[in-house]
Amino acid sequence: MIPTSDQLEFRALAREFAAGEIRPHVETWDADRNLPDALFATLAELGFLGMRMPEAHGGLGVDAPTFAMVVEALAWGDASVALAVAIHNGPIPRALEGWGRAEQQERWFPALAAGDVLGAFSLTEPGAGSDPAALTTRARSRNGTWVLDGTKSWVTNGDRAGLILLFARTGDEDSGREGISAFLVPRDTPGIRVTGRERTLGLAASETVSLELDGVELPENALLGAPGDGYEIAMDALLVGRIGVAAQALGIGQAAYEHALRYAGEREQFGRSLHRFGAVREKLAGMAVRLSQARLLTLDAAVRLDGEPGDDATHLPSSPRALSSMAKVAASEAAMWITDEAVQIFGGYGYMRDYPVERLMRDAKGTQIYEGANEVLRMVVAGDAVREFDGGS
């Protein structure tokens, strides 16, 4: 795709913001394991928290490629910031727009668009990661209310959020994916307790928590869609979620590439700069190739998510599900490879926390795992490839 002037302008705004307001503080945020409240107020003021909310409800209503470009630019500044923005703008509005009733949209979209409420996505549980159909959190209908009990893990924005899109089992224990339902849960509902803040290898400033639900009572209209729609809602929401992760990975990789390129030009060994050595040039070329490939695939997946037809004549997997999975795999693995090579170019300095590539390498690893581990996403892609070979059966 060829970016429009509006897309380039919005991306430039995000990159300028990342350079001036994020990068100067990123090491402090990483060490403190925290993003300041004032940052989210500024993100809201600039429109970054209303990107994917409909214009009719006060949002910007940007398309998926623009969303991906902005998330990449923010991740170039700090992946933890980009992750918070991507979760808020990705799975949450996708699900609310696709399955929400008018009164639900009117209640939540304006607050989400203005940044008055931050969104969180809660699917994973201690025993249900790659297999969400195995989740055990229960939602029981009782006297005109829903009562939720269980434990959720890896909830990004989970403590700061005002709205949690949460998935629980409304069917019996053997109902599998057909027994899962989705709920719009206000974070301040009594009975919700944060039981732990995760200490992760990377993305240290990201607020990722575990939640305990103990007799959480919700009105009937907290149900999103119909009982049993939860699995379909989650899988659809993850399409944009995976594009968001791919964009984060691109931002991480781009930052590492730029740091390595600059360092190789400044650092001298044996009387000449590092970028005069063939081995280093090969690394830099590999970085550029991988970044370009992954970025094109990510934008292609974003375009397809918005309803543009794919190129079915290639007999390659081209559904939104397959493309978002491929984009996430390609971008996250590119980021991991690029940051590894960047650390190698920096040498001993790259292994020290005084230099940024060490943090970028830690951040990159997470993108290979969350929103679907890459091994699982390869199974998704392979399934679509087999169906294409079998004529769609």
Give the rounded distance of the alpha carbon of 329 from its chain centre. 13
Does the active-site annotation cover 371?
yes
Catalytic residue selected from 125, 207, 341, 371: 371
The structure tokens listed for 130 are 């790659």
Active site residues: 371
